[in-house]
Amino acid sequence: MPPHIPNMRVRKRSRGDRTNRTAAYLVVAILSTLLLLGPSRASTRRRRDAFDLKDEDLEKDARLVGNVALLETENFDEENSRCLDASKECSITFRLEPQPIWNANEVINGTAGVLNIPHPITGQVDAGFVCKLGGIELSEDHWITRAEALIQKHPDPMNAGFEFDVVHHFNMFSCEQGVSTMPGLDTSDSDTCSHNDFLLTSPKCQFQFSYDKGANSFSFPSNSAFLIGPSNPYAREHLFQVHYLVPEHYDEIVRRSGAIWDESAYKITLRRRAATAEKDPLGLVAFNDMRIRFKPGRTTHYQYQVPYLETLQNLFKGDFEDYGSVQPIAVHLHAHSTTKNIWIDHLHLGKKVGEYGRIDGYQAEGPDQSFFVLPEGDRTRPFLPGDELSIHCVVDTTGKDFEILYGASHQTEMCAVLIVYSNHNYKNRDNFKGGNYRDYEPLLPYLTSPSGGPFM
């Protein structure tokens, strides 16, 4: 959602022969320069086949790993920057140029790796963040009807016939116009990327959608979708954030077959607003507690409350004024491997009146990381001014001999939720004061059931 690797060797992959590398470098340099001039130009729509370079080429010039995603389109009018007239749908795939998945302190043929986050207890570097600009602006409004991550799989030399991937999350942010060229905002900087600094700038970005490890694609209900394009001041540009997390046995993988390059991507399916029945525009809010820590050898019921006056009143101010309520319709419940149950309570006048999503028997890496549409009773129960949310995670640290802390590495935890809702006026600037992402301190830290088992 935010380990020294010894004996690095880059694993070679065949991509076909290229006889004139000088010409290839020239093509890349020209394309990269044009991309940086402005995301609204047709020249920003570059395809991977324009410079199909081998790993040897990438190793020789780290500048080939640029700050703008490669674009791959289907049924898309690149000259006019919209879906083709004759197509019911079109798609844009934002693919990262090959990313070097090794320690940032290791430089191989002029390229440093992207892993620079140490585990909060062991100190082993196993994670890192990369951000890329979308590099395109649509000329018309479009609805996002489907979102999916295209995660590259790599053969696991430790387990014959098995594969692994290195993407823990792949987030999409929608941004105001000017983020891509804003002085002083370097989205390619690892700290800027991992700390979501672009959510607090002016112009700024907003959390749009998210993939977490193992999640399925998500198709929006037929009558609602995210709107992007000229009419939405917060969705003129786009930014993508990838959290890489290598397997715990990655050092052995490297020793056996070399470190890898990763080319995962994010794909959105679109429909032109002008050629589609009108839909309900959707908004998204996200909540997370970055101060969590769980004692070892016990089951803990962890809870934090999202208050109305300090938070929700400002998040939904414009929508409350325009619609009188907001309506959650889908959620993504995000946690790591020690979490066994996760849910959201809906509180009205201080009392629980229902839930906005629950998963019991939570499995951290798999379909439980997917967005899912709420049951009818929950997606038709409005969230009113004055209502609050209470977020719960039941965490089992039985068998652990160390504290489980918040983090982006293995053997860490999160307790986060993303809520998609209707009754959203995307033009009202009274919404999302301070951004649409919040983190909070726990309300009841280390609350454990008397039996030592999970609260239900």
Please indicate, yes or no, whether residues 133 and 49 belong to a single structural domain of this protein: yes
Please indicate, yes or no, whether residues 265 and 324 belong to a single structural domain of this protein: no
**411 part of a folded domain:** yes
Q: Is the pLDDT of residue 56 over 50?
A: no
Q: Is the pLDDT of residue 9 over 60?
A: no
Please indicate, yes or no, whether residues 268 and 287 belong to a single structural domain of this protein: no
Secondary structure letter of residue 317 according to DSSP: H
350-401 tens-digit pLDDT: 999 999 999 999 999 999 999 999 999 999 999 999 999 999 999 999 999 9
Q: Provide the pLDDT for residue 358.
A: 98
**455 part of a folded domain:** no
Please indicate, yes or no, whether residues 428 and 320 belong to a single structural domain of this protein: yes
For residues 63 and 335, what is the distance between their CA atoms, to the nearest angstrom? 36
**3 part of a folded domain:** no
Secondary structure letter of residue 326 according to DSSP: B
Neighbours of 42 (CB within 10 A): 11
Q: What tokens appear for 304 in the block? A: 């934090």
Listed residues 254, 275, 296: the one ending a domain: 275
Please indicate, yes or no, whether residues 238 and 344 belong to a single structural domain of this protein: no
For residues 268 and 284, what is the distance between their CA atoms, to the nearest angstrom? 16
Q: Provide the pLDDT for residue 299.
A: 97
Confidence label for 39 from pLDDT (cuts 50, 70 and 90): very low
Q: Provide the pLDDT for residue 335.
A: 98
Listed residues 241, 275, 309: the one ending a domain: 275
Instruction: State the Cα angle at 300 between 371 and 171, rounded to 5°.
Output: 25
Confidence label for 64 from pLDDT (cuts 50, 70 and 90): very low
270-290 tens-digit pLDDT: 999 999 999 999 999 999 998
Confidence label for 40 from pLDDT (cuts 50, 70 and 90): very low
Please indicate, yes or no, whether residues 358 and 289 belong to a single structural domain of this protein: yes
Q: What is the CATH number of the domain that holds 87?
A: 2.60.120.310
> Closest Cα to residue 363, out of 392, 391, 333?
333
Please indicate, yes or no, whether residues 93 and 185 belong to a single structural domain of this protein: yes
> Closest Cα to residue 58, out of 102, 16, 93, 12?
12
Q: Which residue has the higher pLDDT, 41 or 260?
A: 260
Q: What is the CATH number of the domain that holds 354?
A: 2.60.120.230
Q: Provide the pLDDT for residue 302.
A: 95
**416 part of a folded domain:** yes
413-450 tens-digit pLDDT: 999 999 999 999 999 999 998 899 998 654 444 343 33
Please indicate, yes or no, whether residues 294 and 345 belong to a single structural domain of this protein: yes
- Please tell me the least confidently modeled range out of 46-55, 97-106, 203-212: 46-55
Q: How far is CA 422 from the centre of its chain?
A: 21
Please state the rounded mean pLDDT for residues 181-198: 90
Q: Provide the pLDDT for residue 109.
A: 86
**5 part of a folded domain:** no
**2 part of a folded domain:** no
CA distances from 251 to 107, 120, 163, 264, 434 (A): 16, 18, 16, 21, 40
Q: Which residue has the higher pLDDT, 447 or 171?
A: 171
Q: Provide the pLDDT for residue 453.
A: 31
Backbone angles phi, psi at 99, to 5 degrees: -100, 135
Listed residues 260, 275, 290: the one ending a domain: 275
Tell me if 436 sits within 8 A of 285, measured CB to CB: yes
Secondary structure letter of residue 222 according to DSSP: T
**13 part of a folded domain:** no
Confidence label for 454 from pLDDT (cuts 50, 70 and 90): very low
Tell me if 299 sits within 8 A of 449, measured CB to CB: yes
**188 part of a folded domain:** yes
Q: How far is CA 156 from the centre of its chain?
A: 25
Q: What is the mean pLDDT of the chain?
A: 84
For the chain, the domain total comes to 2
Residue-number span of the structural domain to which 389 is assigned: 282-439
Please indicate, yes or no, whether residues 84 and 110 belong to a single structural domain of this protein: yes
Please indicate, yes or no, whether residues 53 and 121 belong to a single structural domain of this protein: yes
74-118 tens-digit pLDDT: 999 999 999 999 999 999 999 999 999 999 999 988 999 999 999
Please indicate, yes or no, whether residues 178 and 317 belong to a single structural domain of this protein: no
Please indicate, yes or no, whether residues 171 and 100 belong to a single structural domain of this protein: yes
